Structure 1
Amino acid sequence: MKALCAAVIVLSFISVGQPAPLTCDTLKKPVEKGPNLSGRWYYIAISTEVCLPTTLLDSIIWPSFSMDVTSKDTPNLYDGLARVKMYGYCVNESESALYVNNKIYDVDSENAPTGDPDVLLHTSCHDCLAVKTDDVIDSLVLLSRRSTVTTAELQEFKKQVECFGWSKPVVLNTDHDFNNCLTIDDNMTEEAAEHFLKNFFPKMIERIKNTHHNIFKCLSDMVAYYGSSPFALK
């Protein structure tokens, strides 16, 4: 009996020490005060409204992403260098953005904001960003200053995705060694292009062979969902 009481006391202390799970009302809210964007951010996981975009991303390309952000002389303007690695090959892309009121805007040649902004949502992860994008493909992305996050932090992001009713998030590749990869760009030599064709596509095909069941499951889930929708065509 004493042992049982002791166990109850210990569990009660543990439960008090654990933060309460965040509600959907909180997880769907924009942050009140966003972090300093400067520095490197690693893309951890991504979700979209339907499963197909993220499933194809994971099953075909299986990329790892990072973004190096630096502030410009003009207030609230930032330069970003996106790095993408796929099967040992890297693509780099530069872009500028305006960061105002915890929203991130694309900018034109005059640094004026264009389009709908990306919105930073609430997260209890101290060095993470939860970014919601409304675009051709709406997405919710988890980024962190660390290359990996804890299981609890990833579970919270999954809960956040569920709050929107979106597809299960895909955890991205964690190979962030961007210094040891061959760059894909318009200046590739003929020899480099030949090497790319011989190595990239066989690895991609092997990946598809190993993950094609995920594509079929996603398609099956989509057919079942839209087939049962009251708005489905009769």
Structure 2
Amino acid sequence: MMKTLWVAVVLSFVSVGQPAPLTCDKLAKPVENLPDLSGRWHYIAVSTEVCMPALLINKIFWPSIAVDITNKGVPNLYAATVKVKMHGFCMNETEDFFQENNKLFEVNSENSPVGEPDLLLQTSCSDCIVLKSNDTLSTVSFLSRRKTITEEELKEFEMQAECVRFSKPQVLNADQDHDNCQDLDDISEDQSLTFLQQVFERVKSTHQSILKCLVDMLLSYIPATIT
């Protein structure tokens, strides 16, 4: 589900208290109690197996992402409309998916499940979901019905990414106003230049973290090369 956007989906009510954080052996396992996926979810943070893909997307485009999920009137079949906002410009994409227990599948033209599924992982956040995708770009994504989460909830997700041996999560832009922005498909030449200027300024201000990720990646390969 939503594999072209590298990213993920979350439960229906806001918890009053803070639940006890889960341990690594639980955080790496799929959920047992399935959430109701219908409604709007906000992407909070995303992790990739190595740091560079998620880092480049976040540091260059700094996107905010939301997904509206609706049941299609057929058991376990849903439509997901992903809304992406980058530097004041927006784009939408709708895909159907099939839920089978804790697995989310893409569907073919007959609405039959196909391919390797995404997995819903456990989380102590009662109105959140964690989605692990093993595709061309493998990701672990943290979504919530809220636009913002607590520091404790983010720390648990950071530990969860470490538990499944993914990179430190990138926290996405919290600007979730997807209605008041220019459609990226209708962008003019002048607006294209403005967009590129914003991307360039963003890269200039964040290039140190990109270089650090590159160094970390290179260092991680040295022991394997020596042995």
Q: 1:18 to 1:83 in 2, by over 3 A?
A: closer
Contact persistence 2:21–2:124 (CA under 8 A): no
Name the SS of the counterpart of 1:43 in structure 2. Answer: strand
Q: 1:114 to 1:208 in 2, by over 3 A?
A: same
Q: 1:108 to 1:233 in 2, by over 3 A?
A: farther
Q: 1:116 to 1:211 in 2, by over 3 A?
A: same
Alignment partner, residue 58 of structure 2: 58
Provide the C-alpha distance between the structure 1 equivalents of 2:152 and 2:31, rounded to a whole number of angstroms.
Answer: 20
Q: How does 1:113-124 map to 2 (within 5 A)?
A: 113-124=113-124
Provide the C-alpha distance between the structure 2 equivalents of 1:161 and 1:223, rounded to a whole number of angstroms.
Answer: 20
**Structure having greater relative contact order (Cα 8 Å, sep ≥ 6):** 2
Alignment partner, residue 156 of structure 1: 156
- Count of matched residue pairs: 211
- Choose the corresponding residue for 2:209, options 200, 214, 217: 214
Aligned AA (2:54): T
Provide runs of 4+ in structure 1 moved above 2 Å: 17-21
CA RMSD of aligned residues (A): 1.4
Alignment partner, residue 170 of structure 1: 170
Q: Deviations over 1:160-217 (max 9, x none)?
A: 01112221100000111111100012xx2xxx42232121000000000000111110
Provide the C-alpha distance between the structure 1 equivalents of 2:100 and 2:87, rounded to a whole number of angstroms.
Answer: 36
Contact persistence 2:47–2:54 (CA under 8 A): yes
Provide the C-alpha distance between the structure 2 equivalents of 1:95 and 1:85, rounded to a whole number of angstroms.
Answer: 18
Q: Which protein has the larger Cα radius of gyration, Structure 1 or Structure 2?
A: 1
Contact persistence 2:120–2:132 (CA under 8 A): yes
Identical columns (%): 51
Q: Deviations over 1:20-55 (max 9, x none)?
A: 432111101100121110000000001111001011
Q: How does 1:28-107 map to 2 (within 5 A)?
A: 28-107=28-107
TM-score, length-scaled by structure 1 = 0.87
Q: 1:169 to 1:92 in 2, by over 3 A?
A: same
Provide the C-alpha distance between the structure 1 equivalents of 2:79 and 2:93, rounded to a whole number of angstroms.
Answer: 11
Q: Deviations over 1:107-162 (max 9, x none)?
A: 11110111111100000000000100010111100000001111010010011011
TM-score, length-scaled by structure 2 = 0.89
Q: How far apart are residue 228 of structure 1 and its match? A: 1.8
Q: 1:214 to 1:156 in 2, by over 3 A?
A: same
For structure 2, which runs of at least 5 residues remain unmatched after alignment?
Answer: 1-16
Provide the C-alpha distance between the structure 2 equivalents of 1:228 and 1:63, rounded to a whole number of angstroms.
Answer: 35
Name the SS of the counterpart of 2:30 in structure 1. Answer: coil
For structure 1, which runs of at least 5 residues remain unmatched after alignment?
Answer: 1-16
Aligned AA (2:23): T
Aligned AA (1:53): P
Provide the C-alpha distance between the structure 2 equivalents of 1:218 and 1:198, rounded to a whole number of angstroms.
Answer: 28
